[in-house]
Amino acid sequence: MGHKATIRPSTAFLTVDPGKAGRQVGFLMIPHSPHDDAWGVTRVPVAVIANGTGPTVILEGGNHGDEYEGPIAIGELIRELDPAEVQGRLILMPANNVHAVIAGTRTSPVDGLNFNRTFPGDPRGTITQQITAYISDHLYPMADAFLDLHSGGSSLDILPSAIIEPTEDAGLRRRNIAAVQAFDAPMTVVISNLGESRTATAAACQAGLVTVGTEMGGGGTVSLDALDVCRRGVRNVLVHLGVLDEKHKGPKRGDGKILELPGSKAYVFATMDGIFEPFHGNGAAVSEGQPAGRIHCTWDATREPETVHYQTDGILYGRRQPGRVRPGNCCLVIAREYEGPIA
């Protein structure tokens, strides 16, 4: 159990003991010396629930501070799960990008960074980089599996789904797919983030961890349906991994199909400054070349709206929430049937 990693010198420390059985609730403490607090710390909440023998699973929420269903589900596990029901160890982190979580923003108000574009981090960098460095260097090597619970955030409304992080390791790919399908979301989607390697899930795969992601609704709200999917799905995966027994498993819901975001063609981007009018709702079947929406420059009545088009066949998987757009904003996301390797 566990994986080797280079341990870089760090001033961060835990107030919980990962080697101790039972339930502990505390913090990852990172010395932080801003203008108003010379010798203070940033406190990242962390809990450990351990009992018996079994795998170590890290559950992350609050990677982005405006995504809510995952952190709620993790907080409930921290408070409600009986350690006697656990076989193995859970490391539960409901608010990793803690300053952004408190602010309700995607990026950290302390250093402006997107937590999910900073792995493997830097123990001598900014606060966000130091948090990701501690996770990369100290927590991933303890673990066998990683659950990264996202939603669409303030800018996207996404169909509730469990996410497969692609990997070139065929054995890990099989284990990832099995774990994500065990989550049993209404949809299962392969998302590569256009090959981005600095995400938490990409780094977890690089560390050899069985990796499960989610996208649970969004729009800056808490979706009751998505929260229910998330609560059930997390427990389903923990049953699949052998940490919880079968009584925690929910009834079957998903259809077993796997979709994917087909590279850059999956996205419809804004082409001008204005107000985006979408033509379809999430879940609609769409086709390549079909008009997807139009952008209105409402402060210039002489300017005709500009129509944007889909670049691939599939279903509308995610839709921008704010109407106001600038060139390059992601307006729509299309998923289609997965064509990659399963084994």
Spatial neighbors of 253 by CB under 8 A, at least 6 apart, are: 184, 185, 186, 229, 232
Q: Any idea what the CATH number is for the domain that residue 268 is in?
A: 2.40.50.100
Interatomic CA distance for residues 141 and 206, integer angstroms: 11
Interatomic CA distance for residues 336 and 315, integer angstroms: 6
Within a domain: 4: no
Interatomic CA distance for residues 104 and 155, integer angstroms: 12
Within a domain: 343: no
Residue range of the domain that includes 292: 263-337
Q: Taking Cα atoms as reference points, which of 127, 77, 120 lies closest to residue 99?
A: 127
So what's the pLDDT on residue 6? 67
Domain-ending residue, one of 232, 260, 288:
260
Number of structural domains in the chain? 2
Helix (H, G, I), strand (E, B) or coil at 131: helix
Q: Report CA torsion sign: 168, 151, 335, 320.
A: negative
Tell me the pLDDT tens digit for each residue of 30-41: 999 988 999 999
Within a domain: 5: no
Q: Do 98 and 241 reside in the same domain of the chain? A: yes
Helix H, strand E, coil C: the string for 79-125 is HHCCHHHCCEEEEEECCCCHHHHHHCCCCCCCCCCCHHHCCCCCCCC
**Counts of helices then strands in the chain (DSSP H, E):** 6, 18
> Terminal CA-to-CA distance of the chain, rounded, Å?
23
Within a domain: 6: no
pLDDT beneath 50, residues of the chain: 1-2
Q: Any idea what the CATH number is for the domain that residue 253 is in?
A: 3.40.630.10
Tell me the pLDDT tens digit for each residue of 276-326: 999 999 999 999 999 999 999 999 999 999 999 999 999 999 999 999 999
Q: Taking Cα atoms as reference points, which of 226, 219, 176 lies closest to residue 338?
A: 176
